[in-house]
């Protein structure tokens, strides 16, 4: 079994495509690029590939990860080049390498996601006082977020919204800069199948519980990297 792991970025207009559309899109891109991707068995064969985690519509990313299973070996460089040639502006493969078949899936190893948040603030303030606010915010033992269940299926029992403490899913918030009312923050949050916290939730909580209030339309999110645990450290999913 040949597995290739790659890291790609999603920027510009491409941030407006959904995760599901992206899955389909990659399948077709591989076909256009004549990459010998492996297919599942059955009446409706689909290309065998898996992503680390889904990215919301409107969120950019410097580091998305994808595992692809191949039928035939091709050079990693050729893989990157032929795929990049058919990808539109905004999507590009930065690195790829063959991984062992025993390697754990991306989905199971991803643990944290680091985001850059850019937003305009409603009130005039200084970086210092923002930093203080963030510090106070993080000093709390619990930050309760009420997660509302989507009512996708009307017939199913209407589940109640659930309360969750998101404090333990926040690993760090760093204020990077504040220039002309525009703030840039870095957040490290839980990501993956076990625990997952969206940066939008943290921003809304900051809005609610501190003096850091952003103009809603101005929030722009970029994922900087996805991390896995390695001993005591957290490192990118793929070392290059």
Partner 1 sequence: MQKVEIDELLFKVEKPGQYLGNEINSSHKTVNENTIRYCACFPDVYEIGMSHLGTQILYNLINTVEDVYCERVFAPANDLEKLMREKQVPLFALESRNALRYFDFLGFTLQYELSYTNILNMLNLARVPIYSKDRSESEPLVIVGGPCAYNCEPIADFVDIVILGEAEEVIIEVLEIYKQQKQIGYNKKKFLEKIVSLQGVYIPSFYEVDYLSDGRINKVYPVNTHTPKSVKKRIINDLENVFYPEKLIVPFVNIVHNRVMLEIFRGCSRGCRFCQAGMIYRPVREKSVNKLCELAGELLESTGYEEISLSSLSASDYTSLQELVSKLIETHEKDRVGISLPSLRLDNLTFEIIKEIQKVRKTSLTFAPEAGSQRLRDVVNKGLTEEDLLNAVRNAFELGWSTVKLYFMIGLPTEDMKDIEEIKNLGFKVVEEYNKVDKEKRSKGLRVTVSASTFIPKPFTPFQWEAQDDMSKTIEKQQFMKEIINHRNITFNYHDVKASFLEGVFARGDRRLSKVIEVAVRNGCKFDGWRDHFDFEKWMDAFNECEIDPLFYARQRCYDEKLPWDHIDVGITKKFLISENEKSKKEEITPDCRELCSACGINVDYKGGDC
Q: Is 62 exposed, middle or buried (0-12, 13-18, 19+ CB in 10 A)?
A: middle
* Minimum CB distance to partner 1, residue 12 (Å): 9
Tokens found for residue 80: 């990157």
Given the complex with partner 1, which of 132 and 198 has the nearer CB atom?
198
Nearest CA to 221 out of 28, 81, 61, 92 is that of 61
CA distances from 64 to 30, 106, 222, 237 (A): 17, 10, 11, 9
Residues 47-86, one symbol each (x = binds partner 1 by CB under 8 A, - = not), give ----------xx---------------------------x
* Minimum CB distance to partner 1, residue 123 (Å): 22
Out of 4, 6, 29, 185, the residue judged to bind partner 1 by CB under 8 A:
29
Binding segment (CB under 8 A) for partner 1, from list 24-32, 118-126, 158-166, 188-196? 24-32
Residues 6+ apart with CB under 8 A from 110: 52, 53, 65, 191, 192, 226, 227, 228, 237
Q: Which residues bind partner 1 (CB under 8 A)?
A: 13, 16-18, 20-21, 24-25, 27-32, 39, 43-45, 57-58, 86, 88-89, 217
């Amino acid at each position: 079994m040949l597995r290739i792991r790659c890291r790609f970025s999603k920027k510009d207009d491409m941030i407006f495509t959904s995760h599901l559309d992206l899955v389909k899109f990659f399948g077709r891109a591989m076909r256009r690029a004549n990459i010998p991707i492996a297919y599942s068995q059955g009446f409706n064969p689909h290309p065998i590939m898996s992503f680390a985690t889904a990215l919301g519509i409107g969120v950019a990313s410097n580091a998305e990860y994808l595992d692809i299973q191949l039928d035939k070996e091709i050079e990693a460089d050729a893989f990157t080049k032929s795929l990049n040639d058919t990808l539109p502006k905004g999507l590009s493969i930065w690195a790829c390498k063959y991984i062992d078949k025993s390697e754990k899936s991306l989905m199971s190893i991803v643990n944290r996601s680091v985001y850059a948040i850019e937003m305009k603030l409603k009130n005039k303030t200084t970086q210092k006082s923002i930093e203080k606010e963030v510090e106070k915010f993080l000093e709390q033992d619990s930050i309760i977020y009420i997660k509302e269940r989507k009512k996708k299926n009307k017939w199913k029992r209407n589940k109640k919204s659930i309360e969750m403490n998101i404090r333990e899913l926040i690993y760090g918030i760093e204020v990077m800069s504040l220039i002309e009312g525009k703030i840039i923050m870095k957040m490290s949050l839980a990501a993956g199948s076990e625990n997952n916290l969206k940066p939008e939730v943290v921003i809304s909580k900051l809005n609610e519980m501190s003096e850091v209030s952003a103009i809603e339309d101005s929030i722009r999110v970029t994922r900087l990297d996805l991390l896995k645990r390695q001993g005591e450290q957290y490192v990118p999913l793929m070392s290059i």
